[in-house]
Amino acid sequence: MTSEKVKKHYPRPPISLIESNIPGWGVDIYIGGSTGVADAELLEKHNIKVVLNCAVNLDIDLVHSEEPNTPEHLLKHGSARVRYYKIGLIDGPGNPESMVLAGYHLMRSALDQELPEKASYKVREKGNILVNCRGGRSRSVTIVALFLHLEYPDRYPTLDAAIAHIRKTRELHPDEWFETPKPALIHLAERAASMEKLLRDAGFGQDMKKK
């Protein structure tokens, strides 16, 4: 069964709650696809203030007001209703080995970041986080699973345990588990977990931890 057929036969919500009130940050984690992240009302309803886009082949225009006096030759730019971060993963083979690890650190750093009291930083509330890719079933699952495993090893002692939890909360059908996430991404996440643990053993990696 092809990936497109899987998507057609097994629909899922635009966004799904994966974890509530996570220790250390007190926010909720959501995973979603392109339709969910592009729905401003849905983001507001769930108090989502941080969006991490994991897809290299998906761009979302979240700008809701253009800066004044924008030259006509420039594309629309300005502030959004959320803080928007992106790491461009391929959904399958082809990603550098360190890229999934970078995704974990970007997710964690987005939660830790403290914005200054300046007018140009319009969204300073912590709020909840949405991690998305095109379908919300592979790349975003990989990054969130790695985050859960590394941050909460007592609850998710293995990467597989975190993936199993997300498959359930994201409502991924068992018939599509063979590619949710893609095997190449699972392999990179396993390598990323090993690399992060080595960094921690050497005294790096968790200096900003708030737990």
Q: How would CATH label the architecture of 16-201?
A: Alpha-Beta Complex (3.90)
Q: Is the pLDDT reported for residue 160 higher than 90? A: yes
pTM, rounded to two decimals:
0.88
Average pLDDT estimate for 123-130: 88
Terminal-residue alpha carbon distance, the chain: 44
> Could you tell me the pLDDT band of residue 71, with boundaries at 50, 70 and 90?
low
Q: What is the C-alpha separation between 147 and 96, in angstroms, rounded?
A: 18
Which region among 55-69, 80-94, 108-122, 141-155 has the lowest average model confidence (pLDDT)? 55-69
> Could you tell me the pLDDT band of residue 1, with boundaries at 50, 70 and 90?
very low
- 11: CB partners within 8 A, 6+ apart: none
Q: What is the C-alpha separation between 87 and 151, in angstroms, rounded?
A: 20
- Identify whether the C-beta of residue 47 lies closer than 8 Å to the C-beta of residue 15: no
Q: Is the pLDDT reported for residue 211 higher than 90? A: no
Average pLDDT estimate for 151-170: 98
Of 193, 204, 179, 165, the closest CA to residue 93 belongs to 179
Q: Is the pLDDT reported for residue 72 higher than 90? A: no
* Percentage above 70 pLDDT, the chain: 84
- Identify whether the C-beta of residue 67 lies closer than 8 Å to the C-beta of residue 77: yes
Average pLDDT estimate for 15-28: 98
Buried/exposed 196-211: b ≥16 CB within 10 Å, e otherwise: beeeeeeeebeeeeee
Which region among 36-40, 54-58, 61-65 has the lowest average model confidence (pLDDT)? 61-65
What single letter denotes the amino acid at residue 188?
A: L
Q: Which two tokens stand for residue 172?
A: 């991924």
